[in-house]
Structure formats: C-alpha cells, structure tokens
A = this chain, B = another copy of it.
Amino acid sequence: MIKIVLDCFGGDNSPKANVDGAIHALMKNHDLHLILTGDEATIRGCLWAESLSDRIEIVHAPDVITGEDKPTEAIKRRKESSLVKGLELLRENDDIAGIVSIGATGAVLAGTVLRLGRIKGVLRPAFCPILPTMHDGIVGVCDSGANVDCKPAYLKQFAIMGSVYLRSVYGVENPKVALLNVGVESEKGGVLHQEAYELLKACDSVNFVGNMESRDLLSGKYDLVVCDGFSGNVLLKATEGACLETLGRLKRGFGRNLRTKLGALLLKKMLMEEKRFLDYQNYGGSILAGAKKIVVKGHGSSKATGVEKCIEQAYKMASSGYCQEVERALLESKPEE
C-alpha cells in the first residue's frame, strides 16, 4: 500500500478538481491510499465513489493558504491549513510517502523547508517540472524557481536529483544533462556557470553533455536542463508564454475570412490533438527534488486530470524509492558546499 497526502484546497478549481483527480487516481492504482486534507464537510460533499472509501481518509483542516499570503509567515502560523496539516501528517507518519499540493508555490516550498526538511546531503531542494518537447519526448528543468540565487554546487546536485527522477519515474536510461547558458561554448556565462560547468564535467553520476541555449529547450536534444531558479523560471515561463501566444495569434488568423475559416475547420482535429499534446495538465506537476519525502506541486489551474497526473507522479516516485535513490546518488558523488 502506498500512502499519499493530497492537499484538497488551493488551486483555482479546488476542492472539486482535487477530489475528482483523487478518485481517478485511486481507480487506476489499486494499492494507492490517499489522505485528503481540508474542510471535511466540503470534501465529503465532493466525494462520489463509495466503493473507494476504504482507501480514502479525510483529515479535517478548515484553513486555506492562498497566493496572497506571505509563505513563511503562513506556514508558521496557519497550523489548521490543509497544506500545513498535510505536511505535519507526512513528517510524523513513516508509512506516508509523499504529498501532492495544487496550492501556492511559495507556501509549498516554505512548508517543505520548514516542516519537512531535506534528504541528507541536499544543499537546496529544487523544483523540477517536466515539459513535452516538440518531437514527442520530454525534458525536465531543474531548478525552475525554488532558488533565485545559487552556488555551483547546488547546480551539480540539481543535475543528480533530476537525473534520478528521469530515470526512476520516466525510464530515461542515461539522461542527457545540459547546463543553461548564453552560448554552447564551455567558457560562456558568469562565474556561476563556468564553475558549474567544471563541476558537472567532473561528476561521474551525471551524463553531462555541455551548455544549452534556451532556444533549444524543446528541441528534444536534452533530457534535463540545470540552472539557477531565476533563469529556470524565465526559461519555463517564456517558453510557455511564447507557445501560447503563437497559437493565440494563429487562432485569430484562422478567423480572418471565409477561406481561413474553412481551412481551420479542416485542421480542427489535428489542432485539437496538438493542443492536447501541449497541455501541461498531461505532464503532471513539478516535483520538489531534495525534499525529505515526495513533494509534488501541481499547476494552480490544474483540473481533475492535472491533479490525477500529480498523484500518479508521487505514486511512481514512491514505488521506485526516489528519495532513497537521491540520497544514495548524492553520497556517491563527492560532497561540496
């Protein structure tokens, strides 16, 4: 039995989408057990699958932390919130493997650091979301925003933690790891990048293939991109924004006249398929690599499918012993600060 906590509040479509996602995940994975945190009556009102009730537990937590709250303060004070309650359950129960939250990113990060802690040897936990590449593959970005200021040794650990993730959850045999930089040549970038380049090159447990320019993120040439959290965040949101803006502009073009409308009609099926392919909901959430137990943070606008994918990610990570793998891999690599 794999036990996971689902924070049912936070997220634009919570608690309905969260509870629906939970039910779908339970239907697919028969040794999954979910602990739902949040206002008990509201959650009960959303539940619709009686037959699953022996694998669902509800822990009452009437308070909700939102994006408006100051993360650190909220985590310290809002003990009755669905997130803090969930993290407490996770910390105190050996048989619970992880938590999924669709709530505020800052609060999930602060909560993990303050209430859960890190895997032994981890310098900084880091977000690692997965994106679809344009050639039907995937690529991970680590760190996508947990650490705006980084040291070279952090980036080396991001590479190790991200590689373990891609290997254990997505079956990528020997993940090709690139360092985000302003050019591909080894001497590019500032002090951080040049030192990180040397550390990565010398690291046996990482299949480092060199620098990557941001334009190549979706090219399919790399499995994992490591970077500081600031540029990772810029990279991710710029890519997402440009994809959406391009599609939006084309959509406006489709409506231009009768001819274009007819053309768009013929392409409708293909375009819907492409839209589904690009939909981040199908790629789950961002893991917080390096946290003591499994933490998956879903996109704030996740619908039931998105939540379900996040739960499945956590489930797969638990099955593959992700946290133990990371601890082992970090021990094997030379430690440094």
Residues on B with C-beta less than 8 A from A235 are 214, 234, 238
Q: How far is the CB of A330 from chain B (nearest CB, A)?
A: 25
> Does residue A186 face the partner (Cβ distance < 8 Å to B)?
no
Across the interface, A267 reaches (CB within 8 A) one of B148, B234, B247, B263, namely B263
Residues on B with C-beta less than 8 A from A270 are 253-254, 256, 260, 263
Tell whether, in the assembled complex, residue A241 and residue B266 are in contact, meaning their CB atoms are under 8 Å apart. Answer: no
* A95-151 with Cβ < 8 A to chain B: 134, 145, 148-149
> Does residue A190 face the partner (Cβ distance < 8 Å to B)?
yes
Across the interface, A264 reaches (CB within 8 A) one of B246, B259, B263, namely B263
Across the interface, A250 reaches (CB within 8 A) one of B234, B256, B265, B274, namely B274
Residues on B with C-beta less than 8 A from A149 are 190-191
> Does residue A217 face the partner (Cβ distance < 8 Å to B)?
yes
> Does residue A218 face the partner (Cβ distance < 8 Å to B)?
yes
Chain A 244-276, CB-CB to B under 8 Å as 1, else 0, gives 111111100110100110111111011101100
Across the interface, A134 reaches (CB within 8 A) one of B193, B215, B248, B264, namely B248
> Does residue A301 face the partner (Cβ distance < 8 Å to B)?
no
A249 and chain B: residue at smallest CB distance: B134
* A203-258 with Cβ < 8 A to chain B: 213-219, 229-231, 233-250, 253-254, 256
Q: Once the chains are docked, how many angstroms separate the CA of A233 from the CA of B271?
A: 31
With contact pairs A182-B145, A253-B274 given, residues A215 and B240 touching in the complex (Cβ less than 8 Å):
yes
> Does residue A62 face the partner (Cβ distance < 8 Å to B)?
no
Q: How far is the CB of A153 from chain B (nearest CB, A)?
A: 17
Tell whether, in the assembled complex, residue A243 and residue B241 are in contact, meaning their CB atoms are under 8 Å apart. Answer: no
Tell whether, in the assembled complex, residue B218 and residue A241 are in contact, meaning their CB atoms are under 8 Å apart. Answer: yes
16 further interface pairs, Cβ-Cβ under 8 Å (given A134-B249, A182-B233): A134-B245, A134-B246, A149-B191, A182-B229, A214-B236, A218-B241, A230-B231, A234-B235, A241-B242, A242-B242, A242-B243, A242-B246, A243-B245, A254-B270, A260-B270, A267-B267
Q: How far is the CB of A109 from chain B (nearest CB, A)?
A: 12
Residues on B with C-beta less than 8 A from A64 are none
The 8 closest A-B pairs by CB, nearest first: A215-B241, A263-B266, A242-B242, A214-B238, A263-B267, A238-B238, A215-B237, A148-B190
Across the interface, A214 reaches (CB within 8 A) one of B189, B233, B253, namely B233
Tell whether, in the assembled complex, residue A260 and residue B253 are in contact, meaning their CB atoms are under 8 Å apart. Answer: no
Residues on B with C-beta less than 8 A from A19 are none
Across the interface, A237 reaches (CB within 8 A) one of B191, B213, B254, B278, namely B213
Across the interface, A246 reaches (CB within 8 A) one of B182, B243, B259, namely B243
Q: Once the chains are docked, how many angstroms separate the CA of A230 from the CA of B148?
A: 13
> Does residue A180 face the partner (Cβ distance < 8 Å to B)?
yes
A148 and chain B: residue at smallest CB distance: B190
23 A-B residue pairings within 8 Å (CB atoms): A134-B248, A148-B190, A180-B234, A182-B234, A214-B234, A214-B236, A219-B241, A231-B231, A235-B238, A240-B242, A242-B246, A243-B246, A246-B246, A246-B247, A246-B278, A249-B274, A250-B250, A253-B274, A254-B267, A262-B266, A263-B263, A263-B264, A267-B267
